[in-house]
C-alpha cells in the first residue's frame, strides 16, 4: 500500500539549537517529515554529543545526542569565518523554519537573531526557547531544566509533607518547551499558508512549567491564596482527598486514583470508622489505614480485586515491566535507527497520520554529514 507523504515533507528547518529543548522541537518536526539540518560548531558540535548519562557510548557519542537528534542532518560551522557565515545566510534564505535556544542576545551577536534572519528571508518562521523569557529579573540566569523546576513552584509541590522538594525524574521543562515550540511553529506555518507572512514564536521553560500547573495554580489564585498542604501519608497530589496516593504492597507498590472508601474498606479490611471520616480533612488518617491494609497482599492480588470492583488503580512498574507488558509493542512505539555501523533502539513519534505512525531509520547525524549544503545550498 502506498502511503500519503508525511505532513511536513519538503519543509526545511535550520536548527541552531543544542542540548534538549530546541532539538526536541526539531525532532518532532523531523519525525513528521521535515528536512532538519543542525548547525553545529566546527570540530565540537552540539555539546550533548558528549553529555553522558551513563558510560554507554554509541558511535562515540552519548545516548542523549542519539535520542534527540534522529532523522536530522548536520553542518559544521566556524562562526568566525565569513565564508561559513555567508553559507549559513544562504541556508537561511532557503529555510522555512529557523530554531534556536541560546540565552537572550546570543543569536543577535552572531548575526542570526530574528530581525537579521527576517531581513534575509521575510517569510521565515523563527522559533526561540529561553529559560525565563527575554526580559525581567531572571533573563540572564542559566535556563536549565532542574533550575527552572526549582523556581517554578513545581518542585515544592511534589512529594509529601515530610519531604524536601522533589524534582521530576526527567527534564520535563525542556521536553514541554520543545513541544510548545513545535506547536507554535506549526501554527505560524498554517498562518503563512493562509496569509503569506512569517513570524516569531517564543516560549520558555518557566512558561511551560507554569502552564503544566494550570489547574492547581488556578485553584490557588482563586482560593484566597491558601497554600495547599501536601499529604504526609502516601503523597501523590497536594489537593486531592483520600485515597489518592501511592501505596506499598507485599511485593511492590501500587497507585490508587479513585474509589469509594466504603468499597475499599470492604475489599481491604479498612475499619468502617476510618472509612467514614471526611476524606479531605482526615486524608492522612484514612491513607495511613489503607497503607497498613494494602501491605498485607501482593500487587497482583489487589489489582484483581480492584479491577473487579471498578477501583481506579495501577501497579507501579519499572521500564522492564513496561516493555514486558507488551504495550509499547502494541502501540508500535519502539524502533531501530542506524548510521553506518551504529545501531540503537529508541522511541517513535507519539502521533499517527492516516492510521500509520511515521518511522525513520536514520540515527543522529555524524558531525558535518551535510556539509555539501554549505556549497550547494538546499538543492
Candidates 84, 174, 284, 318; catalytic one: 174
Is 278 an active-site residue? Answer: no
**HEC profile of the chain:** CCCCCCCCCCCEEEECCCCCHHHHHHHHHHHCCCEEEEEEECCCCCHHHHCCCCCCEECCEEHHHHHHCCCEEEEEECCCCHHHHHHHHHHHHHCCEEEECCCCCHHHHHCCCHHHHHHHCCCCEEEEEECCCCCCCCCCCCCCHHHHHHHHCHHHHCCCCCCCCCCCCCCHHHHHHHHHHHHHHHHHHHHHHHHCCCEEEEEEHHHHHHHHCHHHHHHHHCCCCCCCCCCCCCCCCCCCCCCCEEEECCCCEEEEEECCHHHHHHHHCCCHHHHCCCCCCCHHHHHHHHHHHHCCCCHHHHHHHHHHCCCEEEECCCHHHHHHCCHHHHCCCEEEEEECCEEEEEECCCCCECCECCCCCECCCCCCCCCCHHHHCCC
Closest CA to 353 of 1, 4, 89: 4
Residues classed as catalytic: 174
Amino acid at each position: 500500500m502506498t502511503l500519503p507523504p508525511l505532513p511536513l515533507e519538503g519543509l526545511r528547518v535550520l536548527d541552531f539549537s543544542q542540548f534538549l529543548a530546541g532539538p526536541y522541537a526539531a525532532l518532532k518536526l523531523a519525525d513528521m517529515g521535515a528536512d532538519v539540518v543542525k548547525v553545529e560548531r566546527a570540530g565540537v558540535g552540539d555539546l550533548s554529543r558528549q553529555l553522558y548519562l551513563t558510560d554507554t557510548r554509541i558511535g562515540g557519542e552519548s545516548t542523549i545526542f542519539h535520542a534527540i537528534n534522529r532523522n536530522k542532518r548536520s553542518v559544521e560551522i566556524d562562526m568566525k569565518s565569513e565564508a561559513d557565515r555567508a553559507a549559513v545566510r544562504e541556508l537561511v534564505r532557503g529555510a522555512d523554519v529557523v530554531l534556536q535556544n541560546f540565552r537572550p542576545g546570543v543569536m543577535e551577536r552572531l548575526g542570526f537573531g530574528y530581525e537579521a534572519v527576517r531581513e534575509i528571508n521575510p517569510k521565515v518562521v523563527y522559533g526561540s526557547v529561553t529559560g525565563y523569557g527575554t526580559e525581567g529579573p531572571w533573563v540572564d540566569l542559566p535556563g536549565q531544566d532542574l533550575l527552572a523546576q526549582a523556581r517554578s513552584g513545581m518542585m515544592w509541590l511534589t512529594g509529601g509533607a515530610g519531604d524536601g522538594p522533589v524534582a521530576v525524574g526527567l527534564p520535563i521543562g525542556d521536553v514541554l518547551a520543545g513541544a510548545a515550540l513545535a506547536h507554535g511553529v506549526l501554527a505560524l506555518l498554517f498562518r503563512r499558508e493562509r496569509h503569506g507572512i512569517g513570524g516569531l514564536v517564543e516560549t520558555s521553560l518557566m512558561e511551560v512549567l507554569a502552564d503544566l500547573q494550570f489547574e492547581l495554580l488556578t485553584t490557588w489564585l482563586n482560593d484566597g491564596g491558601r497554600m495547599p498542604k501536601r499529604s504526609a501519608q502516601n503523597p501523590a497530589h497536594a489537593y486531592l482527598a483520600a485515597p489518592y496516593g501511592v501505596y506499598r504492597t507485599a511485593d511492590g507498590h501500587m497507585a490508587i486514583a479513585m474509589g469509594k472508601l466504603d468499597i475499599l474498606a470492604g475489599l481491604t479490611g479498612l475499619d468502617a470508622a476510618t472509612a467514614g471520616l471526611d476524606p479531605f480533612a482526615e486524608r492522612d488518617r484514612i491513607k495511613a489505614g489503607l497503607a497498613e491494609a494494602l501491605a498485607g497482599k501482593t500487587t497482583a492480588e489487589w489489582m484483581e480485586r480492584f479491577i473487579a470492583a471498578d477501583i481506579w488503580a495501577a501497579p507501579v512498574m519499572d521500564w522492564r515491566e513496561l516493555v514486558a507488558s507488551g504495550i509499547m509493542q502494541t502501540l508500535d512505539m519502539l524502533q531501530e535507527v542506524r548510521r553506518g555501523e551504529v545501531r540503537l533502539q529508541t522511541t517513535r513519534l507519539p502521533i499517527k497520520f492516516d492510521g500509520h505512525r511515521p518511522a525513520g531509520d536514520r540515527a543522529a547525524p555524524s558531525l558535518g554529514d551535510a556539509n555539501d549544503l554549505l556549497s550547494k545550498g538546499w538543492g
